[in-house]
Amino acid sequence: MTTEKKIIVTVDALILRLNNNKHEILMIKRSEKCRAFPGALALCGGKVDVGEDPEQGMVRELKEETSLDATNEMSVVCVRGAPDRDPRGHYLSICYNVTLKDPNQIPVAGSDAGEVMYVPLKDIFEEKHKLAFDHLIIVQQYAKWIIKMGIVESIL
């Protein structure tokens, strides 16, 4: 596998909803054609284009992968940049808490997403799904962040 020799900036969306008294997070199932982690669950996101603001990149990537529209209200939850987090090269990811324009809009898979779905946070924490990259760590950090920020009192 060819690796890139520069740091690539990416964005990841953290989108939470409460459904049937369970906290769920939006995930994609990576296409079997993906070079890295084919078939694994991942956060929605991707590369920031040259000349593009990372927040604009987040809005664009979310639309491309899920057909969902984000508001401009987003907050940085964490930044991940370990050199070995992605087998394709050195990727630095800005992870955003994203608010949808219409929380009831149904996501539709596009671009490199094989499927798009909401997954209960408890299922992720119990490792019932294989997650790509370091996305399990990101989701764990997100859970702590949403409690600290007062968005939720506890994970249901």
* CATH number corresponding to 8-148: 3.90.79.10
User: In this predicted structure, what is the pLDDT of residue 98?
Assistant: 98
The series of mean pLDDT values per 10 residues for the chain, 156 residues long, is 79 97 95 88 96 97 95 96 93 98 93 87 94 96 96 88
Which residues are tagged catalytic? Answer: 115
Q: Max Cα separation, the chain?
A: 46
Burial 73-92 (b: 16+ CB within 10 A, else e): ebeebbebeeeebbeebbbb
Q: Kindly report the pTM of this predicted structure.
A: 0.92
CB-facing half-sphere around the CA of 116: CA atoms within 13 A: 22
d(CA 63, CA 59): 6
Two tokens, residue 98: 């994203």
pLDDT at 3: 60
Per-residue tokens: 33:
């054609």
pLDDT at 32: 85
Helices marked H in 1-152: 54-66, 121-125, 135-148
Q: Where are the alpha helices (DSSP H) in 43-134?
A: 54-66, 121-125
